[in-house]
Amino acid sequence: MKKDKIELSKIFIDKKKESFTVADIWELQRLLSYHNDLYYNKEEPIISDYEYDILRDKLEYIESKHNFMSSHNFSNDIWSYKVESTFEKVKHSRPMISLGNTYNEEDLYDFDKRVKKNLHWESLQRKDFYGSEYYLLEKFESSNDGRYVLEFKFDGLGVELIYKNWELVQAITRGNWVEWEDVTQNVMQIANIPKKIAYKKHLEVRGEVVLPLSSFEAMNERAKKEWTKIFSNPRNAASGSLRMKDNSITKQRNLKFFPFDLANFDEYSDEINNKKYFEVINSLYDLGFERVDYFKKMNGISDIIHEIHNFWDVKKQIDFEIDGLVMKVNDISLWQAIGFTEHHPRYAIAYKFPAEILTTQINSVEHQVWKTGTITPVANLEPIIIGWVTVRRATLHNYEEVENLWVHIWDTVFIKRAWEVIPKIISVVQEGRSENAEEINPPKYCPSCETDVIKDGEKVRFYCPNSVDCPAQKSEKLVFAVGKQWFNIDGFWVKQVELFLELWIIHNLVDIFKVWDKVEEILELEGFKQKSVDNLISWVEKAKNVDISMFITALAIHWVGKKTAKTLAKLFHSKESLLEFPYTSEDLIKLDDIWPEIAINVYEYFNNEAHIRILTELSEILNITYYKKLEIIADGNESIYFWKKMCITWSFIWTDWVKIARDDLVKKLEAVWWEFTWSVSKNTDFLLAGEKAGSKKEKAEKLWVEVIDLVFFMNHI
C-alpha cells in the first residue's frame, strides 16, 4: 500500500501541470488526504514536506484551472483535514489561514507588485472616502521605517494560547481551519511560555511550538536503541511531543514556543495604540514571551533578497528547524485592503529555503574501508537534488545503525543534507518495503584487499586488520596525512595520491618525502609540468619540520585523534623512544584519557614490525621535534603548563621570599614546553597576573581565560 502511494506520488510530482486531467484531480485529492492522515494523525509521513508542497501546489493549480474552487470547494476539505484525536476539540471563530509560499526569489517581486496593485485598487474603489485614488498606496510607500517585516518561518506546530484575566487559560493547536485540539495541559509544561502576563484583557497569541534540533537528535538516538518510533523530521516529533497523554514527557522534550500572530490583532493593537506589526510583536516580548533573535524591518524586496542570500550563517547557529523566512506588510491597518486569496492572505508570504530533507530509494550499498581500517556501509541512492546539490550517496554510519534503522536495499528513506554536512539517512519508510528488499550485512572479507574482516569484540566496529598493505587504507591514510591540518602538502590531493599509488610511484608516507626520486616519472604524466613538480617538492620540504604530537596524529592510528596524540606525545622524548617504544599498555593507561582499548591499540601499533620500519625511515627523513620533559612524567608530577599558551603582565609584587621579574619568569618556563604570548586572546590558556593587571585581566575574564597569581604559579611549576 505505502509503496504504491510513494510511486504514485513520484509520478504526480514529475507530471507537468499542463497535462493533468479532471480525473487526476480526484486521484490527487485522495492521495493528499492519505498523506495528511499519515502526517497529522500518525506522525509518520512517507514523502517529504517539499514533495507534499509540490503535490498541493499542483492540485491548487488544476482545481482553479477547472474551476473546482468556486463550485465544489474540494480544496478546503483537503486543507481542513480533520485530526482524529482523543484530545478535546474546540470550535473557534476566527480561522487561522496558512501563508502562501514560494521557493522562488522572483516571486517576491511579484508579491510586492500585487500588494501595491491591491492598495491602489482599493483606494480607487473608495476614492471619495480616502480623498485620493493613491491614498493607501502612498501610505504604504511613504513609510521608510519598515514597509515589510522579515521573520523566521518556524517548522513546528501552530498553537494558539488564550489568556484571560492575566492568566493562560487554554492552549489549542491548529487541527484545521476552524476546529482545534485542546492541548492546555501539555502546553503548561513548556517552560518558555508565560503562564501569567501583565495584560488583563482577552488575548489570543498565535505562534509555533518547535522542538530544538538537539532534542530531536537525542530523541531519535534513543528511539533507535529502544526500537521505538523514529521521527523523520523535528516538526512531526514536536507534534508528537505536544500530543503525549503523559505530559511529563512533554516537559522533558524541551519544546519552545515563539509568537507571531494574534487572533484578536485589531483589538490588541488598538489597546496598545500601535498599528505596526513589528511593534505589536515586540510588545509580546515585553509580556514575557521569548524573543526571537531574528526579527527585522525591511523596505525593499532587493534588501530582502540580499538578506536571504546571507542567511545561511544565521541558520546554522539556530537550534531549531526553520524552513524559510516570512515577509509581512508591517502596517496592520493595510492588511484588510490588501486582502486574501481563496487560501492565503495577500499581505504576507513565506519564502521557503531549498528543502534539506527529501525521500529517495537505496539502490545498493557499498562497504567503505577508512584510514584506520574501519569498514562502514555507504548507501548508493537514486540521485536527488537537495539544495542545488545532487545527492547520490549517504552514510549509514555503522552496521549497528543499519540494524537500528532497520534499513534494507531498495527501501525508501528520508535523507537530510544540511550545509556541507555529509548526507545522512534519518529514517526509513517502514511497511513501504518492496518485496525484493535485501538485508545489509557486514562483509566477511575486506572489499579492498580481501583479508578476513574482524569484529571488534562487543563494539560495533568491523575492520580490515591489514593496516600496512590494504590499498584502501593506504590511500585513505596518505590523503589524511598530507591534508591541510597535518603535513599540509599542497599539490597532493586525493586524485594525485590515488594516481601515484596506482602507478606505484609511491607506496607509503616515506615515499612522499622522497618524491624527488620520482621527478622524472611524474613529469611523464599528463598534466604535470616542471613548475608544479617544483612546487610539490618545496611543499614537501616545508612539511619536514614537524612536532611529535602532529606527527602521531598524521599516522592515523585508530582512536588517536589530535587530543590523544597530544597526550601520547609526552612519551616520545627522542628518536629511540619512538622506535623502541619502551612502554607497556599498563604504562599507557596511566596517561590522561587513555582507555584500555586505546592503550592496547597504541601498544600494538608501535610494536608492529611493518610500522617500525616506516617509523624508522620517517624519523630519518623528517625533522621531528620531540617532547622535552620525560622525567616529569616518570615521577608523575607533570607540569600543568605543558604546551600551554601563557600571557604575563608586567607588574608583580615583590615579596620577601621571592623577587621575580618577568624575564626570569620567562626563563623559568623555558624549561617546560610552553608558549609565551604578548597579549591575551581566546587562544591563551593562562594569564599570570600581577598586582596592576588592568586591561589584560579584564580581557582575560571576558574571554574565559584562566587568571592565576604568582603564588599559584610558583607552587605548580
Q: With CB under 5 A, what is the number of residues at the site for Zn ion? A: 7
Known catalytic residue at 455: no
Minimum distance from residue 476 beta carbon to Zn ion (Å): 11
Decide: is 501 part of the binding site for Zn ion (CB under 5 A). no
- Cell of residue 211, nine digits: 522542538
Residue 475 interacts with Zn ion (CB under 5 A)? no
Shortest gap between Cβ of 507 and Zn ion (angstroms)?
15
Identify the helix (H) or strand (E) that includes residue 101. Answer: strand 100-102
Residues 447, 96: Cα–Cα separation, whole Å: 57
DSSP letter, residue 359: E
Compute the half-sphere exposure of residue 65: CA atoms within 13 Å on the CB side of its CA.
14
Q: How far is the CB of 558 from Zn ion (least distance, A)?
A: 14
- Considering only residues 426-455, where is the footprint of Zn ion by CB under 5 A? 446, 448-449, 451
Q: 143 or 368, CB closer to Zn ion? A: 368
Question: 664, 648 in Cβ contact below 8 A?
Answer: no
| Binding pattern for the stretch 596-635 against Zn ion, x by CB under 5 A and - elsewhere | ----------------------------------------
Minimum CB separation from Zn ion for residue 475, in Å? 11
Tallying the residues shown for the chain, one arrives at 717
- The rounded distance, in Å, linking the Cα atoms of 84 and 82 is 6
- By CB under 5 A, residue 244 contacts Zn ion: no
Which residue is catalytic, options 5, 153, 474, 566? 153
Question: Which residue lies nearer to Zn ion by CB, 233 or 448?
Answer: 448
- Residues 226 and 218 sit within 8 Å (Cβ to Cβ): no
Smallest distance, Zn ion to C-beta of residue 377, A: 16
Closer Cβ to Zn ion, 203 or 464, answer by number: 464
Tell which residue, 46, 72, 45, 43, has the closest CA to residue 59.
72
Of 498 and 675, which has the nearer Cβ to Zn ion? 498
What residues contact residue 585 under an 8 Å CB cut-off, 6+ apart?
A: 596, 599, 600, 602, 603
- Pair type for strands 203-210 and 167-174: unpaired
Binding mask 454-473 for Zn ion (x = CB under 5 A): ----------x-x---x---
Residue 288 backbone class (left: φ over 0; alpha: ψ -120 to 50; beta: rest): left
Distance CA 105, CA 306 (A): 10
Strands 295-298 and 148-154: what pairing? antiparallel
Residue whose cell numbers read 537534488 = 385
CB of 458 to Zn ion, least distance (A): 22
Minimum CB distance to Zn ion smaller for 200 or for 455? 455
C-alpha cell at 210: 518547535
Residue 480, classed as helix, strand or coil, is: helix
Task: Compute the least distance from the CB of residue 444 to Zn ion, in Å.
Answer: 12
Location of C-alpha cell 630519518:
620
CA 516 remoteness from chain centre? 43
Query: How buried is residue 277: exposed, middle or buried, by Cβ count under 10 Å (0-12/13-18/19+)?
Result: buried
Based on CB atoms, which residue is closest to Zn ion, 191 or 610? 610
HEC states along 15-35? CCHHHCCHHHHHHHHHHHHHH
Q: Give the integer Cα–Cα distance in Å for 186 and 241.
A: 9
Q: How far is the CB of 510 from Zn ion (least distance, A)?
A: 20
Indicate the residue among 241 and 448 with the shorter CB distance to Zn ion: 448
Shortest approach of Zn ion to residue 468 CB, angstroms? 10
- Under 8 Å between Cβ of 594 and 561: no
- Output the smallest distance, CB 464 to Zn ion, in A: 3
554 touches Zn ion by CB under 5 A: no
DSSP sequence for 483-542: STTTT--TT--HHHHHHHHHTTS--SHHHHTTGGGGHHHHHTSTT--HHHHHHHHHHHHH
Q: How distant is the alpha carbon of residue 376 from its chain centre? A: 22
Strand ranges in 563-658 using DSSP code E only, listed in sequence order: 623-625, 644-648
- Nearer to Zn ion (CB atom), residue 64 or residue 368: 368
Fill in the DSSP letter of residue 574.
S
Based on CB atoms, which residue is closest to Zn ion, 9 or 448? Answer: 448
46 binds Zn ion (CB under 5 A): no
Task: Cell numbers for 182, please give them.
Answer: 485542546
Of 362 and 464, nearer to Zn ion (C-beta) is: 464
Q: What are phi and psi of 173, to 5 degrees?
A: -105, 160
Q: What minimum distance in Å lies between the beta carbon of 474 and Zn ion?
A: 9
Whichever of 63 and 476 has its CB closer to Zn ion, that residue is: 476
Helix (H) or strand (E) holding 164: strand 157-164
634 contacts: CB under 8 Å, gap ≥ 6: none
Which residues belong to the active site? 153
Contacts with Zn ion by CB under 5 A lie at 446, 448-449, 451, 464, 466, 470
